[in-house]
Structure 1
Amino acid sequence: MVTPKIIEASKQWLTSTFDAETQKEIQDLIDNNPEELTDRFYKNMEFGTGGMRGVMGAGTNRINKYTLGKATQGLSDFLIQNNPNKELSTVIAYDCRHNSKEFAKVVADVFTANGIKVFLFDDLRTTPELSFAVRYLKADAGIVLTASHNPPEYNGYKVYGADGCQITPPNDGLIINEVNKVSFDKIKFNANEDLLTYIGEEVDNAFNQVSVDNGTFGEVDRSALKIVFTALHGTSIKSVPQVLNKAGFSDVHIVEEQAIPNGDFPTVKSPNPEEPEALEMATALANKINADILMGCDPDSDRLGIAVRDLDGNMKLLNGNQTMILMTDFLINQKKKAGKLNGTQFTATTIVSSEMVKVLADHYGIDTVITLTGFKWIGKAIADNPTKDFVGGGEESFGYMIGDFVRDKDAVTSCLLACEMAAHAKANGTTLYQQLLDIYIQHGYYKESLISITKKGMDGAAQIQQMIADFRANPVKEILGSPVKYVCDYEYSTKKNLITGKETTIDVPKSNVLIYHTEDGTKVCVRPSGTEPKIKFYFGVKGTLNSHDQAETVEAQLDQKIKDVIVALNLN
């Protein structure tokens, strides 16, 4: 039964404010599909702190010309109000998804209709290049049309500030307020084409060069490394092979079946390099040619998956934390070798990521900034520490950023850095996997895992909120026999010692996240996703590794412990 509120909201989309095709789509839902109609109008597509992401289609709870137009009109209003008498400009990029190119032009039209100059990429480009281009072109904002690794029916809209970072407080809240003020009939769609400039090769060349400058170190035989790369039908095909070639990696084998951009992602269930299945074709090719390393990127090329040879010579997919650990250790070591490690450096990671990043940084005598989940906060950490030297930073979700020329996850430069590290390892008669084990032997074997529980629709959203409310109201007291020592509640900015009862304040912005730390070093984090209808549970455990030949046994023990934690918390 469709509620009167849903009927009223949907009938507004039958007015002359909306085009005939949209009106027809809504009328058909009113007549024939009440369940779908309800899902499309039970709420507005939220413009959150990083933008929007959702299923495409007509309706207030969908990505379409009008919800994107509303967001862009609100952003335009914010830019004009806060930059009086300034000639404003924005940069727009888009990925391979269905309608991304068309949506990018709609967004450009709204900006130019508001008197704001637009630099629009002439073809699909990666998210890291968009972040770079904002500063390179001295623009006031940037937009990328992408839904990252979501299914084909999704699209999205990410907003960047003048610093090339996704918008952060206080501007995020101010922009959201302006977006919420906009009614659909007030969106300016009539473009001023004189304010539109298409961009391409010049920005590509500049980005590729700075990527090579930041992702290569010293002299090493890069031609000796055999590489397999897959774009998973996404935008990385526009940058990664070019950057590898420019750096001198000549033995690169591309998975041709996945090289052509395609929003249907026809060869994978999900274009997510976190999933081993997504890299099956790359793994097959790597085994066929005996490659040293394989890599794959998500559709907008901010995440990367890496597989390297294990002790038995099999390709092993590293998780995001392991990649981050290797990259952080390598980058700090390069600073040390160059005599530039003087205590002013810092690295950054997030509250749900491996504890080992701070352990490494402490070992080298540099600071670690631990932020909320999301690279916008890592980018903000750079802005908040202008006198310090940012080495690199990452999070568990297969993202890393080298230096500060890009202020978001950068799979392009990270792919290059992964190959650079592998080339150095090979030249020294070792492998990346062996180097990872050496780090574990020295600092402890940290192992992490993640499960996501999906709850779609209006009922699903309520269930997700109830799940975390239950964890908050009834905090876990022990996990597998180890007492919970600390409960960190980021919604209320509190860290409570359950043993002593002492409570302290957490000095980060509020977020709906709970983290439990036990006495034996186990960590459990509960966090509703900000971009998907999911609630995520992150697990971290720690063991001891004494030698390489114990690695398989210790890893199996840690994996089993994580499974036992999942069962103990009734999440299986």
Structure 2
Amino acid sequence: ELGCKSGVMLTASHNPKEYNGYKAYGNDGGQFTSPDDKMVMDEVAAISSIDEVKFNRVDDLVELIGEEIDNSYLAKITALSVSPEAIAREHDLKIVFSPIHGTGITLVPKALEQFGFTNVSIVEEQSKPDGNFPTVVYPNPEEKEALTLALKKAAEIDADLVLATDPDADRVGIAVKNNDGEFVLLNGNQTGSLLINYLLTAWEERGKLTGNEYVVSTIVTTSLIKAICDAKGVEYFNTLTGFKWIGQVMTQLQGKKTFIAGGEESYGYLIGDLVRDKDAVISCAFIAEMTAFYKDKGSSLYQAMIEMYVDYGMYKEDLVSITKKGKTGAEEIKAMMEQFRNNPPAKLGGSPVVTLKDYELNKETDITAGASKELGFPKSDVLQFITEDGSIISARPSGTEPKIKFYCSVNTALASADEFKATEEKLNEKIKTIMEDLQA
């Protein structure tokens, strides 16, 4: 909006402070991708002394962003709302919000108010920004411990929805009541799938789907999103892990196709194309809207999730991270990836591995036929094993932490809502078996 050439954000977010991050953005509002990222790093590598860095200390070049940008943003995201009538009827939806000592306090409450919600309770103990995060062990909304105070407050006021954003407010964790009235946390795949299903259904009911719309998620995010898009006739794009790749697709298709939403399994989502990065402010607003929509129909977000599984199949995912610190740890992670690359498992969870995708070598191999083809993705150190029964197991080193990550996704048909718990237990057992096979 200001016509900037680029932007920078410094944030460690939920990661250890010694891994403080530097996020660089282009003039499209998206993070740098190839070749721009390499050009920037080449410039950095060419600097041998801080004395070589030239600073232009002209005060007129510094412009502090005021409320006018915030208000413009809030007005534009509110215009994206697809169920204002439901919000009007359920405006007093009981929402508990925690920024977990981060920046979410700045705009999330305002966004919820702008959307029309009038009953938002803030977790006061976590409302002030504090880089020491005194009330939590780890300020990550993926972890139940980080939501302890929010869940306590939700129980006290009998809330409908719990929202908790990470320190830099680009990801959000949520909790809702299950059919027994107990609060349960939904993971990133569940929340992302619910958002996509809600948005596509709402667009469809309002006659807004023209065949020119699209949705984007990453290769380690649930395949349920693709199943929903296929059923609705909406084009689906898959990218490498990292929201910068979703932003790149948005920039490439700008003016050609209409972006509805995108998301990652790691709790980051984006609705609409106002920005090019995951955004917990707009995500909180739409999660609240979605919750109000289903409550207005006499249902709940939890029940809507089960019905989604009945419609498209039940998908279950899990993530196992193994930490390997320091230079030795980095070498161990590299060796583990090479071992999987050179000796892929023959079976996982009792089902033969039929496809191997190696994003480092840009190669997809049909193990049964012995045929290979190009993947068509930028080079990345990721391996995927796809089994005969449709399970997808991915392995990759973390890009921000000293970890190797294993993602497991399994699925099966869900005949009825009554079979939800039994089917969930079966899928959990299957994931457990697959993870044991990987570590054998």
TM-score of the superposed pair, with normalisation by structure 1: 0.75
CA distance in 1, matches of 2:10, 2:369: 49
2:285 to 402, 405, 416: 416
Instruction: Please give the secondary structure, in 2, of the residue aligned with 1:541.
Output: strand
CA distance in 1, matches of 2:250, 2:293: 28
Partner residue, 1:173: 38
Q: Is the 8 A contact 1:235 1:301 kept in 2?
A: yes
1:186 to 52, 71, 75: 52
CA distance in 2, matches of 1:155, 1:249: 35
2:10 to 145, 149, 161: 145
Instruction: Please give the secondary structure, in 2, of the residue aligned with 1:426.
Output: helix
Q: Does 1:164 align with 2:32?
A: no
Q: Is the 8 A contact 2:14 2:138 kept in 1?
A: yes
1:208 to 47, 68, 74: 74
Q: Is the 8 A contact 1:152 1:264 kept in 2?
A: no
2:414 to 533, 545, 558: 545
Amino acid in the other structure paired with 2:193 = I
1:496 to 365, 368, 377: 365
CA distance in 1, matches of 2:349, 2:46: 50
Instruction: Please give the secondary structure, in 2, of the residue aligned with 1:224.
Output: coil
Instruction: Please give the secondary structure, in 1, of the residue aligned with 2:199.
Output: helix
CA distance in 1, matches of 2:165, 2:419: 31
| C-alpha deviation, 1:214, in angstroms | 2.1
Amino acid in the other structure paired with 1:172 = D
Partner residue, 1:332: 200
Q: How does 1:460-471 map to 2 (within 5 A)?
A: 460-471=329-340
Instruction: Please give the secondary structure, in 2, of the residue aligned with 1:527.
Output: strand
CA distance in 2, matches of 1:214, 1:456: 43
2:145 to 277, 300, 304: 277
CA RMSD of aligned residues (A): 1.2
Partner residue, 2:341: 472
CA distance in 2, matches of 1:138, 1:215: 26
CA distance in 2, matches of 1:380, 1:189: 30
Amino acid in the other structure paired with 1:444 = G
Q: Does 1:399 align with 2:268?
A: yes
**1:171-201: CA deviation from partner (whole Å, max 9, x where unpaired):** 1111111121122220124622232122221
C-alpha distance 424-152 of structure 1, shift in aligned 2 (>3 A): same
CA distance in 2, matches of 1:365, 1:216: 19
Q: How does 1:257-272 map to 2 (within 5 A)?
A: 257-272=125-140
Deviates more, 1:226-235 or 1:242-251: 242-251
Amino acid in the other structure paired with 2:344 = P
Q: Is the 8 A contact 1:321 1:396 kept in 2?
A: yes
Q: How does 1:115-134 map to 2 (within 5 A)?
A: none
Amino acid in the other structure paired with 1:161 = G
Q: Does 1:380 align with 2:248?
A: yes
Amino acid in the other structure paired with 2:22 = Y
| C-alpha deviation, 1:480, in angstroms | 2.3
CA distance in 1, matches of 2:428, 2:13: 28
CA distance in 1, matches of 2:225, 2:56: 50
Segments of structure 1 that go 5 or more residues without pairing to the other structure are 1-135
4+ runs deviating over 3 angstroms = none
Partner residue, 1:41: none
Larger Cα-atom Rg: 1
Deviates more, 1:386-395 or 1:555-564: 555-564
Deviates more, 1:418-427 or 1:475-484: 475-484
Greater relative contact order: 1 or 2 (C-alpha under 8 angstroms, separation 6 or more)?
2
Partner residue, 1:89: none
- Identical pairs, percent: 47
Deviates more, 1:143-152 or 1:393-402: 143-152
1:362 to 222, 230, 236: 230
CA distance in 2, matches of 1:312, 1:196: 54
CA distance in 2, matches of 1:356, 1:335: 18
Amino acid in the other structure paired with 2:389 = D
Partner residue, 1:296: 164
| C-alpha deviation, 1:275, in angstroms | 0.7
CA distance in 1, matches of 2:81, 2:106: 17
Partner residue, 2:315: 446
Q: How does 1:13-24 map to 2 (within 5 A)?
A: none
Q: Is the 8 A contact 2:169 2:281 kept in 1?
A: yes
Amino acid in the other structure paired with 2:4 = A
| C-alpha deviation, 1:224, in angstroms | 2.9
Partner residue, 1:319: 187
Instruction: Please give the secondary structure, in 2, of the residue aligned with 1:172.
Output: helix
Amino acid in the other structure paired with 1:342 = T
| C-alpha deviation, 1:265, in angstroms | 0.6
Q: Does 1:251 align with 2:116?
A: no
| C-alpha deviation, 1:451, in angstroms | 0.9
Q: Does 1:155 align with 2:155?
A: no
Amino acid in the other structure paired with 2:30 = C
Q: Does 1:487 align with 2:353?
A: no
Instruction: Please give the secondary structure, in 1, of the residue aligned with 2:63.
Output: strand
Instruction: Please give the secondary structure, in 1, of the residue aligned with 2:64.
Output: strand
Q: Is the 8 A contact 1:216 1:247 kept in 2?
A: no
Amino acid in the other structure paired with 1:383 = T
Partner residue, 1:44: none
Q: How does 1:103-114 map to 2 (within 5 A)?
A: none
TM-score of the superposed pair, with normalisation by structure 2: 0.97
CA distance in 1, matches of 2:65, 2:252: 31
Partner residue, 1:228: 96
Amino acid in the other structure paired with 2:419 = Q
Amino acid in the other structure paired with 2:230 = D
Matched positions, count:
436
| C-alpha deviation, 1:525, in angstroms | 0.2
Q: Is the 8 A contact 2:172 2:284 kept in 1?
A: yes
Segments of structure 2 that go 5 or more residues without pairing to the other structure are none
Deviates more, 1:171-180 or 1:340-349: 171-180
C-alpha distance 374-302 of structure 1, shift in aligned 2 (>3 A): same
